[in-house]
Amino acid sequence: MANFIRDKGFVKTVCFICLIAVLGIDPLLAVAEKPLGGIPTNFEIIEKISTETVQEIISGIGTLRPEDVVLLNKAKTAGTVDFVLENAFVREMRAAGIRLAIEAPKKDEAVAASGNYRLSYQIVRLSLSYPRISRTWWLGSKHVARAAQADVFVQFIDLATGDIAWVKEIHKEYNDTIDYSKLKLVEEAQYDFTRPSRSEFRMTKLLEPLVEGGIVVGLV
């Protein structure tokens, strides 16, 4: 009889520990935020693939005369994220010694710019997503896969002749995996494009009724 009571107490203890593990592990992991330790933020990733896109465009343009002016014309937008690529254009083209002017919308003739070439670009895609959120083991730590893509279609036009001197569709991407606990550190509240939707399967939803049922049986 004494052995039965001791065994029953042991079962209760094990069941209680399992319940705490299933119901409490996610909140504990979420709170235990660690420093990034060199991991790029979501904004920095978008900035990185934008810079790589512009650098490839510059290499395709080739050598220009010092007096040549390139008109930058955005033909298609991807949304609020556009400014990251636009900043990369200005920064990288100036660093390459290319004179740059932003071409105003056609309807705004009052501020029309003049130049020797037009760089017309369409932002087909410039985004970051979380394609996979998973655990190493059932009760192990979560990991998040990050995937960023930039697809930009470019036309470089000689305004003196109207010829399209260079055309290309540029693709850049970035992939990595980080700890789930770092999500709040890599996302930025002021930029929606750094906070993609999270589609995840929570093992706790499957285990909760099983563990709770087992605990009830154990306690009885």
Q: Residue 56 sits in which domain range?
A: 34-201
Cα–Cα distance measured from residue 83 to residue 135, given in angstroms and rounded to the nearest whole number: 35
- CATH number of 98's domain: 3.40.50
pLDDT per residue as tens digits for the range 8-55: 555 455 444 444 444 444 444 444 445 677 899 999 999 999 999 999
Instruction: State both tokens at 69.
Output: 């002016």
Looking at residue 103, its pLDDT comes to 86
What does the pLDDT average to over 77-104?
Answer: 95
**For 192, which DSSP code?**
G
Do the domain assignments include residue 213?
no
Q: Which of 55, 85, 57 is nearest to 149 (CA)?
A: 85
pLDDT in tens, 49-58: 999 999 999 9
Which positions ≥6 away from 147 have C-beta within 8 Å?
Answer: 128, 129, 130, 131, 173, 174, 175
* Ordered DSSP codes for 108-168: -GGG----SEEEEEEEEEEEEEEEEEEESSTTS-EEEEEEEEEEEEEEEEETTT--EEEEE
Residue 149 covered by a domain: yes
111 pLDDT more than 70: no
217 pLDDT band, cuts 50/70/90, is: very low
Q: Burial, 159: exposed, middle or buried (Cβ in 10 Å; 0-12, 13-18, 19+)?
A: middle
Domain assignment present for 100: yes
The number of folded domains in the chain is: 1
Domain contains 152: yes
Examine residue 11 and state whether it is found in any structural domain, yes or no: no
DSSP 8-state symbol, 10: H
Average pLDDT of every residue of the chain: 81
Instruction: Compute the average pLDDT of residues 152-168.
Output: 95
Lowest model confidence (mean pLDDT) among 59-73, 81-95, 127-141, 144-158: 127-141
The answer to whether residue 93 is domain-embedded is yes
Report pLDDT for 5. 45
Reference 88, options 46, 118, 116; nearest CA is 46
Say what the pLDDT of residue 37 is.
77
Angle between helices 82-95 and 42-61 (to 10 degrees): 50
